[in-house]
Structure 1
Amino acid sequence: MSESEDDWLSLMPTEPLQSQCCGSGCKPCVYDVYQKELAQWEEAKAKKDRSLLTKQKEESSNSELNPDTFTAFKISSVEQLTEDTYQYKFELPGNSSLGLSLGQHIVLRGMVKGLEVQRAYTPVSPVNAEGYFEVLIKCYKAGLMSQYIKSWIEGDTVFWRGPFGGFPYCPNQYGELIMLASGTGIAPMLPILQYITENEDDETFITLVGCFRTFENIYLKPLLQDQSRYWNVRTCYVLSQAS
């Protein structure tokens, strides 16, 4: 039985909404993924072969990151750091690693009132962390994604895709690195910092300047204090509302 035009139109991929783009310059962007899926659909329609569409996967549950499709990860713990900032830990099977390179970020997908929203976050866990990864997230009162994130509890399943971006670095490539970070902007600095201090042969000196509202609002203080004990690490804080 021949398939009607309506049958094929029902299988046509939907163009992403503006809210589905995280705005971080990801490659591939959601629009790149859409163009790829549209080309697959057009080829399948022209050949009248639906099997060509099986290459498209909207979701995966094998805990392996993919820049084109979203993968399910389970939240293993939620830790509130300040009144509006949380650290989320996600499970990875066995001793597997997320497989990120330095400076790479991943994209979160959320649904708020029927609207799909995507935002980019950089894991704060070491790039070689096994069995887990951690993300630092600040929630905003009027933020669409924040409304979704604030509903998370331990055991929930969340969808991520990636990785994207990166920071090309070789040990001893520079004599000194100066890291300037404000608030949660410290997230992409931490894996780089830990990568350097874990390598005894890397003698790069690091100056980390963190900008926060108050001393209480400094994120991940125990980790930063541990890192500052290394001979080649110096940390200092700029507080905008210090009493």
Structure 2
Amino acid sequence: MEDDEVDFECDCEDCISQKPTQPLASDCCGSGCQPCVNDLYDADIKAWKKACFGRHHDTQVDHKGPETKVIETNSFKSFPLEDIKCESSDTWCYKFSIPDRGSLNLDVGQHLVLRAQVEGRFITRQYTPLYNDGIMSKYIREWKVGDMVEWRGPYSSYQYQQNKYTHLVMLAAGTGIAPMLQVIRHIVHNEEEDTFVRLLYCCRTYKDLLLRAEINQLTAFWNFTALYILSKEDESNCHGAFGEDHYFGRLDETLVAKELPPNTSKCQALICGNKSFDKDMIKYLRKLDFQGDIFKF
């Protein structure tokens, strides 16, 4: 039985209680997330209809034996929150336990989707879901160690190929450092890699820089360098760690042009920030006649 063939009305209270909640228009950020909250809802509705149809028509539902994966894309799984660590004034790091010391086995650039029941309806967000005034953030701030939290995935349309590019230029802002760090680790720890990575990481102040200690450690590798771009920092009062490279101001077209390699045809630009940051970076690259590939997380 194909999912598209299942089209029927169900008034069973048990089935209705398990029906996925349709996202509000405001739940979609409009930035082209893959998958979008609406994509997840469509997939969940198809699965729900198929299960309901099978229950009421005595139809065999496909089963693939016992579950062996730690996490899957077609269903949510709960993981216990193990630790909460404050990274900056408005950012926290949450650590979850994986059963039997398992591994998520994430590929480069992949992400997960978080689900929560808030104010009587289910909402989902891509991680890292750190939007200060958002409904999910209000839920996250109430987390306590030991809470069970639902995750699903992994997802990604990004596919990294070893040595396909001579240079990767990473344009990141705030929590947009998360997917970049995955790519950086993957490249510098691969002895067969010849790709040079340049990170341009934008934050308002020095204290807002996330995972700075790990980024600094990774700059010990020959093929990775980082520039911290601080838009609201007082240069005279900023005393960074030894060896750090700082720029005081905003990441504008002039600075992007300065940071690009002479030949951009064999370069990939990776972008991750808020919507206005992403839009600006794509605009700058196009105005500079960037010849390489552009990917926005």
Q: Which TM-score band (shorter chain)?
A: 0.7 to 0.9
Relative to the length of structure 2, the TM-score reads 0.66
The counterpart of 1:203, out of the listed 179, 194, 207, is: 194
Question: Is the CA contact (8 Å cut-off) linking 2:10 and 2:52 kept in structure 1?
Answer: no
Separation in structure 1 between the aligned mates of residue 85 and residue 20 of structure 2, nearest angstrom? 36
Q: SS at the partner of 1:189? A: helix
Q: How does 1:44-123 map to 2 (within 5 A)?
A: 44-45=55-56, 48-49=57-58, 52=61, 64-121=70-127
Separation in structure 1 between the aligned mates of residue 76 and residue 24 of structure 2, nearest angstrom? 16
| Superposed CA offset, 1:142-166 (max 9, x none) | 2100111001122211110111114
Residue 183 (structure 1) aligned with residue 192 (structure 2): no
Change (3 A) 1:112 1:91: same
Please report how far the alpha carbon of residue 109 of structure 1 lies from its aligned counterpart in structure 2 after TM superposition.
Answer: 0.7
Could you say which residue in structure 2 is the equivalent of 1:133? none
Please report how far the alpha carbon of residue 14 of structure 1 lies from its aligned counterpart in structure 2 after TM superposition.
Answer: 2.5
Q: SS at the partner of 2:102? A: coil
Could you say which residue in structure 1 is the equivalent of 2:143? 152
Question: Is the CA contact (8 Å cut-off) linking 1:84 and 1:139 kept in structure 2?
Answer: no
Q: SS at the partner of 1:188? A: helix
Could you say which residue in structure 2 is the equivalent of 1:30? 41
Change (3 A) 1:101 1:68: same
Question: Is the CA contact (8 Å cut-off) linking 1:22 and 1:118 kept in structure 2?
Answer: no
Unaligned runs of 5+ in 1: 56-60, 122-135
Question: Is the CA contact (8 Å cut-off) linking 1:63 and 1:92 kept in structure 2?
Answer: no
| Superposed CA offset, 1:189-237 (max 9, x none) | 1111001111122121000000100011000111111111111111001
Question: Is the CA contact (8 Å cut-off) linking 2:111 and 2:155 kept in structure 1?
Answer: yes
Change (3 A) 1:161 1:102: same
Separation in structure 1 between the aligned mates of residue 119 and residue 111 of structure 2, nearest angstrom? 26
Please report how far the alpha carbon of residue 240 of structure 1 lies from its aligned counterpart in structure 2 after TM superposition.
Answer: 1.2
Separation in structure 1 between the aligned mates of residue 34 and residue 166 of structure 2, nearest angstrom? 30
Amino acid at match of 2:119: K
Change (3 A) 1:171 1:221: same
Question: Is the CA contact (8 Å cut-off) linking 1:19 and 1:118 kept in structure 2?
Answer: no
Percent identical: 31
Relative to the length of structure 1, the TM-score reads 0.79
Residue 14 (structure 1) aligned with residue 6 (structure 2): no
Please give the root-mean-square deviation of Cα atoms over the aligned residues, in Å.
2.8
Question: Is the CA contact (8 Å cut-off) linking 1:22 and 1:120 kept in structure 2?
Answer: no
Larger helix fraction of residues? 2
Q: How many residues align?
A: 217
Q: How does 1:127-166 map to 2 (within 5 A)?
A: 138-140=130-132, 142-166=133-157
Q: SS at the partner of 1:186? A: helix
Amino acid at match of 1:216: K
Runs of 4+ in 1 over 6 A off after TM superposition: none
Q: Which moved more, 1:68-77 or 1:28-37?
A: 28-37
Question: Is the CA contact (8 Å cut-off) linking 2:20 and 2:41 kept in structure 1?
Answer: no
Please report how far the alpha carbon of residue 22 of structure 1 lies from its aligned counterpart in structure 2 after TM superposition.
Answer: 5.7
Unaligned runs of 5+ in 2: 1-8, 235-297
Question: Is the CA contact (8 Å cut-off) linking 1:181 and 1:209 kept in structure 2?
Answer: yes
Amino acid at match of 2:223: N
Higher relative contact order, structure no. (Cα contacts within 8 Å, ≥ 6 residues apart): 1
